[in-house]
């Protein structure tokens, strides 16, 4: 099947299959998987024009709603955090799109930039995973308590009918203001700086706009590593923020395409849709199964998914 915008020929079953495999694992950590689809499109399919960034964001638009739906249904969407991420990321994504077209049309240069950023974040996550656990007076973390409750939930509901099954407890927001976001999750309270989240989201939005990932791949590890938030509560916010900013990014790329007639900028809608259909199924399954997977496993998946393309991009620049 030929895709004229991308200028490539590929079997129609391959994009959905690849997208499902990637998004199933990455969605557990609040990442759509678009940042792994880009190297696949560039290196395997040969799709190298700036249009690949916009096509990646089409994938996000189609794929993300299924994962977000699961997090909302299960009460693990921290809405104040979500709104702050969207407000901060949105202008950054538009700025990033301009920078991508004006200053980084060469894939080799912009991948070095993205690779260095992802390397730093992935290294931070890896360091946190490898360092010795600091004692907290025997008090279990919110993630450990969540896993314990999930196991008990499975045991109680194993013999019940679907209608008789109980629901897991939900995230409880205690305060939301211009300065603080406070919420409770399984016996622990998390207090974070609103403006700090917004500033981080703005920077992440610029990087995500350049790369075409919406920012979730970058902001989710920051939430876990720097702010100390449970991965079970940040995944929904990161995915929702990625969805909204991807809508804006695709619209912006489509709008400015006529002003750059000699360059492929607008997304390849058909290719993005095929990737998105596979991602839609993968994210739903990943979000549904996330609560049954230990937080440490999710963090290892997230770290691996960040470090692999980071090292590949940096190596590719110098090789």
For residue range 153-165, what is the model confidence (pLDDT) as tens digits?
666 655 555 555 5
CA-based max dimension of the chain: 63
pLDDT of 155-207, one tens digit each? 665 555 555 555 666 888 999 999 999 998 877 888 999 999 999 899 888 88
Does residue 137 carry a pLDDT above 70? no
Predicted pLDDT of residue 54: 86
What's the CA gap between 131 and 139, in Å, rounded? 18
Average pLDDT over residues 122-133: 75
Residue 7: DSSP 8-state? T
Q: Which residue has the higher pLDDT, 276 or 126?
A: 276
Does residue 108 carry a pLDDT above 50? yes
Predicted pLDDT of residue 11: 92
Predicted pLDDT of residue 158: 57
Average pLDDT over residues 270-287: 91
- Is the Cβ–Cβ distance between 68 and 77 less than 8 Å? yes
Does residue 135 carry a pLDDT above 50? no
Quickly count: other Cβ atoms within 10 Å of residue 127's Cβ: 11
Average pLDDT value over all residues in the chain:
81
Q: Which residue has the higher pLDDT, 144 or 50?
A: 50
Predicted pLDDT of residue 292: 80
Does residue 319 carry a pLDDT above 80? no
Among 104-118, 254-268, 272-286, the range of highest mean pLDDT: 272-286
- The domain spans of the chain are 15-129+144-157+169-318
Residue found under tokens 């008789």: 164
Q: How confident is the model at residue 17 (pLDDT cuts 50, 70, 90)?
A: very high
Predicted TM-score (pTM) of the model is 0.76
Predicted pLDDT of residue 272: 92
Predicted pLDDT of residue 186: 75
Average pLDDT over residues 238-242: 86
For residues 198-211, b (16+ Cβ closer than 10 Å) or e, as one string? Answer: bebbbbbbbbbbbb
Q: Which residue has the higher pLDDT, 144 or 26?
A: 26
What's the CA gap between 45 and 302, in Å, rounded? 24
Strands 172-176, 180-185: pairing kind: antiparallel
């Amino acid at each position: 099947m030929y895709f004229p915008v991308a200028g490539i020929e590929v079997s129609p079953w391959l994009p959905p299959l690849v997208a499902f495999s990637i998004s199933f694992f990455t969605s557990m950590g609040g990442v759509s998987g678009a940042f792994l689809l880009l190297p696949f499109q560039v290196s395997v399919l040969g799709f190298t024009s700036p249009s690949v960034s916009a096509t990646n964001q089409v994938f996000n638009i189609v794929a993300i709603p299924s994962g977000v739906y699961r997090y909302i249904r299960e009460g693990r969407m921290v809405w104040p955090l979500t709104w702050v991420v969207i407000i901060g990321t949105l202008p950054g994504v538009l700025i990033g799109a301009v920078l991508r077209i004006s200053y980084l049309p060469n894939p080799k240069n912009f991948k070095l930039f993205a690779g260095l950023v992802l390397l730093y974040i992935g290294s931070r996550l890896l360091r946190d995973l490898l360092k010795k656990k600091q004692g907290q007076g025997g008090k279990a973390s919110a993630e450990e308590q969540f896993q314990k409750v999930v196991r008990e939930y499975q045991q109680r509901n194993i013999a019940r009918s679907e209608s008789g099954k109980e629901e897991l407890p939900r995230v409880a927001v205690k305060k939301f203001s211009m300065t603080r976001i406070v919420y409770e999750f399984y016996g622990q309270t998390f207090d974070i700086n609103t403006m700090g989240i917004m500033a981080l989201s703005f920077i992440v939005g610029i990087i995500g706009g350049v790369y075409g990932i919406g920012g979730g791949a970058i902001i989710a590890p920051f939430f876990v590593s720097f702010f100390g938030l449970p991965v079970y509560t940040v995944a929904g916010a990161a995915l929702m923020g990625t969805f909204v900013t991807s809508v804006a990014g695709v619209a912006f790329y489509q709008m400015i395409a006529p002003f750059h007639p000699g360059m492929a900028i607008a997304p390849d809608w058909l290719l993005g849709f095929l990737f998105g259909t596979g991602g839609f199924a993968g994210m739903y399954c990943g979000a549904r199964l996330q609560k049954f997977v230990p937080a440490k496993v999710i963090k290892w998946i997230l770290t691996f998914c960040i470090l692999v393309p980071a090292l590949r991009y940096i190596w590719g620049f110098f090789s």
